[in-house]
Structure 1
């Protein structure tokens, strides 16, 4: 009955390359099986950009909706108008655009009864991409319509992917000096690059963290990757990059070079601080020379971002070392080991994570908590290191270390130091309001003060001091539970108990030297 599509000239295929890339998925929606068969026959062996066509079939509007609801990778719908109802195809069109909110799928409407759906009216009223009368539809016309639809779908998908990844890049750019955000930034940029070039997203950016002599060994890791390579971020590149490519890159003394082969791009760039980056991009589609400048620019910008990150990390590590040394000096003066502040910092980090604080807050308390007793620099040695019980007068002097510490740190505008000022001021406040220096209670005490106060007491009780022997873990936890709701935040006490095994591992790893 349906002899349309079979009386045309032979079609030249767009690409006869054997493809291992994902196919273009075409959904045929028609209530007559013969239409499905002849469509498959007419488009048999057609491929576009190295990707074959894969056909899915639905014999009704309902079946089409079920398939479209379950899949997000359909490029084209060849949609009949008259099926269960005289306007079923139009209903499916409206459902795709409005209910499914899919503006990417290309809809080609086909009808054998044009009177039921006049072309002019349908084109105006419905968001379709082509309208074909079955009686006039030859193999060549169907081929042209499908290839045009695929090309349009490809372009729109690339634009949509670029929009998504641009948001990712912008979000990461605000935090680019944090390594995990740099990965987000780089991955987003890789997706954008491959989308712009219409390449399958299989790409990796490799960084060499050591440029010492070859005999000392190179530390090479994947710092960003997409597609099939994504699981290798943070790992050695393994077999995804040919050994000859890696060896040439590591041995090469040039500041940069690029190689474009038919299916791969290799670009090397060395930053001013002598760190090397390598972009390796593999695609089943032919890579043209036109892509070279865009790829090289991408690698240069990412290399600069990594260089800036390393410079920032150097500044950050210097800051952290100064904080650690300053805190350690206070601990040494008070006859306590510097390992106490390390343990408190690690326990605070753990409790902050379990409490659900943000990554930035966890990072802040980890670095700032060692400053909790910085005010002890203003306490006379005779009181600070007294082996016996303090007199009431001595105890009042001893308590001033909280305010002294806050005063020392409060003038800084650096977030970590500001956090340290809060901790120094509030880590001796108590949940019931009986603490010092202000008498804050409950959640009026900053979470940093509550966490550090608990971590400090736990570790101090478990440790030997000039005025006491070390308590057992059981004795320490018994007191903490007894003081839950009076001295300590009950929620934090529960978190400490639930994660006690991890806390004890921290204490074991950072034991006092004496």
Structure 2
């Protein structure tokens, strides 16, 4: 029986003492599973009330969902069920049970202690003298008040339908609020991949909430900015509900045939396609990426829903364009910094892979000592400019194959101060970090380095990290003035200089991860 359009011929008073229909099972088990059913809690100390309620609501279906009825006969049982099932949609609550106001105290428990504002509460009483309607409605957060003697089967069903629809609307509004909060929270960091997925999940949840659809949804995009061999692949980048496990997978590998066909049709026709089971919306960005959102629906979409979806997807496309622009600017920024570092290295006749290896070594050690991933990434980029000051050193000295004179060595040493002067004026954190690294990466832990003669932890941590990885790569590499050292020689040097040239903690971490560093070296070999 579907009560979306209520039709009933029964209009008898159902709460009577005679001819009670007895149902032995304490918990009514509907055909639908609990996840796809409205949860209703019946609270009354009279078993006949439970039995008749089950009889009247037998076969109840609203919006494609049946009922799952839970039964409680006192306050303790009620509290236990409410704690175990916070998603109960409706409570049919008796007033007089152990005490004359047990039901009213339970209302306070639900609203004040459990902080549950969603569940709809219908008070049913056979003794109105204990709880006058006007007083109860004013003083207690209930949603309806019924006398058992006035509650016919039709009126009861109407009350249940009204309460459940109200509950559904409240849940939808709450989901909409949570989805909007996710979008707002992701806005400051849209260029980050992690934040991008958070942003998309917010959009999916908001769409499913506004349209009262299922929570099963996916977002995927093509590798439009990748190599041509990947341009025909669509990867799921965000998902909700049952599709969460499919994130980072190709749609061809995981989606059911009917959903896959719908998504592919949207891609081929380059438009939104609607079916009885859901819709797939296609849109591309000005940066060349193709995007698809699929959302499952348990109801037939109305014309207004379709218009809303089209408007929403249009706005989403604009948001993606802005996000891709931010990502592109971030990549360009990093490439410019890396290129500046390469120029400095090329002037000294050393391959640009030196700064690439130093950056990867620094990132590895930073993570190993507990620096956060964003900070480690910042260090990785900033480290590429550790020798930018070499741009101010004459070629004849910088690339001299023979041993430097004391005067020439003093000029070489000045590259630390030159690099610092070049970078210190920036207000960007990454550039400030790069300035300190350029200035201090030749300081020694024992205080015998240059240019300031700093000692121990007075030397910036980033500079201490770059100091050790710069030396390790220099020793492992062939230069115009020397051959490369063996792995054994480098390890012995690190052990000998522990607490002298290098931070002893960083030496231990470097030795512990030396195999990983050698792997990085092999991946970025000098040409």
Calculate the TM-score normalised by the size of structure 2. Answer: 0.84
**Cα distance between partner residues in 1 of 2:82 and 2:44:** 15
Which position in structure 2 is the counterpart of 1:409?
423
Residues 57-83 of structure 1: per-residue CA shift (max 9 Å, x gap): 233322222222233322122223333
Contact 1:20 1:51 in 2 (8 A): no
Which position in structure 1 is the counterpart of 2:95?
81
Q: Does 1:57 align with 2:57?
A: no
In structure 2, relative to structure 1, the CA distance for the partners of 1:403 and 1:134 (3 Å cut) is same
Q: Does 1:244 align with 2:261?
A: yes
1:300 CA displacement: 1.8
Q: Does 1:289 align with 2:303?
A: yes
SS of the equivalent of 1:201 reads coil
Which position in structure 1 is the counterpart of 2:25?
none
1:467 CA displacement: 4.3
Q: Does 1:201 align with 2:212?
A: no
Out of 219, 230, 238, the position equivalent to 1:224 is 238
Which position in structure 2 is the counterpart of 1:512?
526
Q: How does 1:162-177 map onto structure 2 within 5 Å?
A: 162-177=176-191
1:169 CA displacement: 0.6
Q: Does 1:458 align with 2:475?
A: no
Contact 2:42 2:70 in 1 (8 A): yes
Residues 352-380 of structure 1: per-residue CA shift (max 9 Å, x gap): 33444444423322222111111122223
Residues 114-167 of structure 1: per-residue CA shift (max 9 Å, x gap): 333333332222222222233332222222222222112111112222222222
1:488 CA displacement: 4.1
**Cα distance between partner residues in 1 of 2:402 and 2:430:** 35
SS of the equivalent of 2:59 reads coil
Contact 1:266 1:280 in 2 (8 A): yes
1:388 CA displacement: 6.2
Which position in structure 1 is the counterpart of 2:8?
none
Contact 2:224 2:288 in 1 (8 A): no
In structure 2, relative to structure 1, the CA distance for the partners of 1:390 and 1:245 (3 Å cut) is same
Contact 2:266 2:280 in 1 (8 A): no
**Unmatched tracts of structure 1, length 5 or more:** 8-16
Which position in structure 2 is the counterpart of 1:153?
167
**Unmatched tracts of structure 2, length 5 or more:** 1-14, 22-30
Contact 1:4 1:136 in 2 (8 A): no
Which position in structure 2 is the counterpart of 1:12?
none
The count of residues paired between Structure 1 and Structure 2 equals 501
In structure 2, relative to structure 1, the CA distance for the partners of 1:92 and 1:394 (3 Å cut) is farther
Tell me which moved more, 435-444 or 99-108: 435-444
In structure 2, relative to structure 1, the CA distance for the partners of 1:76 and 1:457 (3 Å cut) is farther
Out of 124, 136, 139, the position equivalent to 2:150 is 136
SS of the equivalent of 1:150 reads helix
**Cα distance between partner residues in 1 of 2:480 and 2:490:** 18
In structure 2, relative to structure 1, the CA distance for the partners of 1:19 and 1:258 (3 Å cut) is farther
Residues 389-442 of structure 1: per-residue CA shift (max 9 Å, x gap): 655444332221111112222344544433322321222334455443234455
**Cα distance between partner residues in 2 of 1:247 and 1:79:** 51
In structure 2, relative to structure 1, the CA distance for the partners of 1:329 and 1:232 (3 Å cut) is same
SS of the equivalent of 1:242 reads helix
Q: Does 1:305 align with 2:322?
A: no
In structure 2, relative to structure 1, the CA distance for the partners of 1:158 and 1:243 (3 Å cut) is closer
SS of the equivalent of 2:203 reads helix
Out of 117, 123, 128, the position equivalent to 1:114 is 128
In structure 2, relative to structure 1, the CA distance for the partners of 1:453 and 1:2 (3 Å cut) is farther
1:473 CA displacement: 4.3
Contact 2:362 2:469 in 1 (8 A): yes
Contact 1:61 1:92 in 2 (8 A): yes
SS of the equivalent of 2:473 reads helix
SS of the equivalent of 1:74 reads coil
Contact 1:6 1:139 in 2 (8 A): no
Out of 381, 405, 411, the position equivalent to 1:397 is 411
Calculate the TM-score normalised by the size of structure 1. Answer: 0.86
Which position in structure 2 is the counterpart of 1:333?
347
Q: Does 1:38 align with 2:55?
A: no
SS of the equivalent of 1:402 reads helix
**Cα distance between partner residues in 2 of 1:499 and 1:34:** 73
**Cα distance between partner residues in 1 of 2:18 and 2:229:** 70
What's the RMSD between the two structures over aligned residues?
A: 3.3
**Cα distance between partner residues in 2 of 1:419 and 1:98:** 51
Contact 1:21 1:50 in 2 (8 A): no
Tell me which moved more, 376-385 or 396-405: 376-385
Which position in structure 1 is the counterpart of 2:361?
347
Contact 2:362 2:466 in 1 (8 A): yes
Contact 1:5 1:139 in 2 (8 A): no
Out of 185, 196, 200, the position equivalent to 1:182 is 196
**Cα distance between partner residues in 2 of 1:443 and 1:110:** 72
Out of 449, 458, 478, the position equivalent to 2:463 is 449
Residues 195-233 of structure 1: per-residue CA shift (max 9 Å, x gap): 111111222233233499x99961212233222222323
1:101 CA displacement: 1.8
Q: Does 1:269 align with 2:269?
A: no
SS of the equivalent of 1:257 reads coil
Tell me which moved more, 163-172 or 131-140: 131-140
Contact 1:210 1:275 in 2 (8 A): yes
In structure 2, relative to structure 1, the CA distance for the partners of 1:373 and 1:148 (3 Å cut) is same
